Amino acid sequence: MSLSLEGKSALVTGAGTGIGKGIACELARRGAKVAIHYNASDAGAKDTQRRIEEFGGMCMTVQADVADQQQIIRMVDAAAAGLGGIDILVNNAALQLNIDWLEYTEELYDRVMNINLKGYWQCMQAVIPYMKHKQAGRIIHISSVHGKRPTDFDPVYCMSKGGIKMLGRESAIELARYGITVNTIAPGAIDVGKFKTTHKELDRKKFPLGRVGLPADVASLVCYVASDETSFMTGSTIRTDGAGMLM
């Protein structure tokens, strides 16, 4: 199998639904042992587990609120114990409220930032000791094209995604000495079952390839970044959006 991840252990946050589900399944398909994180989507995490076990993959589920540091530590320790360490962290769990500036309260602002940005940082803090022990590791952040291009539907979400990009750059410098790489993937529009418009109806002026992305499009890129093929790539942000940002 190309880009085999046999012998690797991965933790994927937000893997009960959407992009995270696709990432967890593809990592497992390529041979990695996977910890499927979820917060409230217990049924979704079990579905991810079922899909992986159907093709003979190895996985486990771990529950945590990634806005809470103590729950993150518990999650990471459980994943490391169950998988025999953590070689790959995919920070994917995120909250997107799709509300305007004036609708945001301080509480809502804090919730989005605590999950989307502080949660990524604290998940990193929890896994780094395991990676330092091996002097190797892959940390992959799932951001968004809206880390660069403003939205007209959720300014705080957009701010958090911009912060993720800089988190990846700064941590890449500091963690390089331990053999740990940190890279960011910035998807464009991804169909996770919420698109009302069919792909045949999409405007090619906004979607040059005539379709939106699929979780599998992000997952295949994650597997490449997680592989030994990218040992010299760190601090990078890779956009996967079907050229949507160019329009």
The residues assigned a catalytic role are: 157
User: How is residue 121 written in tokens?
Assistant: 């940082």
Those residues with Cβ within 8 angstroms of residue 145's Cβ, 6 or more apart along the chain or in another chain: 186, 187, 188, 239, 241, 244, 245
How far apart, in whole angstroms, are the C-alpha atoms of residue 106 and residue 104?
7
Taking Cα atoms as reference points, which of 173, 187, 229 lies closest to residue 8? 229
For the chain, helix, strand, coil in percent to 5 are: 50, 15, 35
Place of tokens 């919730």: 111
Contact 127, 115 (CB under 8 A): no
Contact 241, 218 (CB under 8 A): no
